């Protein structure tokens, strides 16, 4: 049991962080908080990739006469791309929020839904 918790603590952290982000994305009413949720959610996945690349006793994959074992550099490279995607998503989301705030005067989702329903918009199933 201790082995399962302490030996793989990095994966537990990833799961907990991911759930926090996921919860914020779905349950929070404030749009900015949703975007923060996106960021936590994606950062958790980045941590998962990076910790998967760790080799016990490994060093950075740079040629060095004392090193025999290197960490796997591929997940690191993938996550550079992942971070770019995450930044772009955040940028688009924030740009949308600015426009939403301009159009509705609020960033609370329940408030926006009320405003929309006030003007007949059909069902929102």
Partner 1 sequence: MDSVNNLPVLVVIIPLLSAILTPIIGRIIRSAGWYMTVVATFTVFMMALSLLFSVLDGGAISYSLGGWEPPWGIEYVVDYISGFVMVVVSLLAFIVAVYARRSVELEIAEDKASFFYAAYLLFLTGLMGMTITGDMFNLYVFVEITSLAVYALIAMGKRREALIASFNYLILGTIAGTFILIGVGYLYMATGTLNMADLRRLLPALYNTTLVRTAFAFFTVGLSLKLALFPFHIWLPNAYTQAPSVVSAFVAATATKVGAYVLMRIMFNVFTVRFNMEVIPVTSILLALSSLAIIAGSVIAISQTNIKRMLAYSSIGQIGYIVFGVAIANDTAVTGSIVHIFNHALMKGSLFMVVGAVVYRTGIEDIAGLKGMGKKMPFTMAAFTIGALSMIGVPLTVGFVSKWYLILGALEAHMWYLVPVVLISSLLTAVYFWRVVESIYFHHTDGEESIHCVSSMNEAPAIMTIPAFLLAFFCILFGIAAFLPVSVASTAAKMLLGVV
48 forms part of the interface with partner 1 (CB under 8 A): yes
Of residues 93, 106, 108, 111, which one binds partner 1 by CB under 8 A?
Answer: 93
Q: What angle do CA 39, 22, 45 make, to 5 degrees?
A: 55
Surface-to-core class of residue 79, CB atoms within 10 Å of its CB (0-12 exposed, 13-18 middle, 19+ buried): buried
CB of 62 to partner 1, least distance (A): 20
For tokens 């490279």, name the residue: 77
Of 15 and 66, the one with the shorter C-beta distance to partner 1 is: 15
Q: Does 92 bind partner 1 (CB under 8 A)?
A: yes
DSSP assignment of 86-115 equals: HHHHHHHHHHHHHHHHHHHS--BHHHHHHH
Residues of span 54-73 touching partner 1 by CB under 8 A: none
CA dihedral for 85, 86, 89, 94, sign (positive or negative): negative
Where on the chain is the footprint of partner 1 (CB under 8 A)? 22, 25-26, 31, 34, 38, 41-42, 45, 48-49, 52, 74-75, 78, 81-82, 85, 88-89, 92-93, 96-97, 99-100, 103-104, 112, 116, 121-122, 124-125
């Amino acid at each position: 049991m201790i082995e399962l918790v302490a030996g793989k603590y990095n994966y537990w952290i990833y799961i907990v962080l991911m759930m926090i982000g996921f919860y914020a994305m779905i349950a929070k009413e404030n749009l900015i908080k949703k975007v923060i949720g996106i960021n936590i959610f994606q950062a958790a996945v980045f941590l998962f990739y990076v910790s998967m690349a760790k080799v016990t006793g490994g060093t950075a994959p740079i040629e060095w006469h004392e090193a025999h074992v290197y960490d796997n550099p591929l997940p690191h490279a993938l996550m550079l791309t992942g971070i770019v995607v995450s930044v772009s998503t955040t940028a688009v989301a924030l740009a949308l929020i600015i426009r939403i705030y301009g159009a509705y005067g609020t960033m609370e989702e329940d408030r926006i839904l009320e405003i929309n329903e006030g003007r007949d918009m059909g069902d929102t199933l």
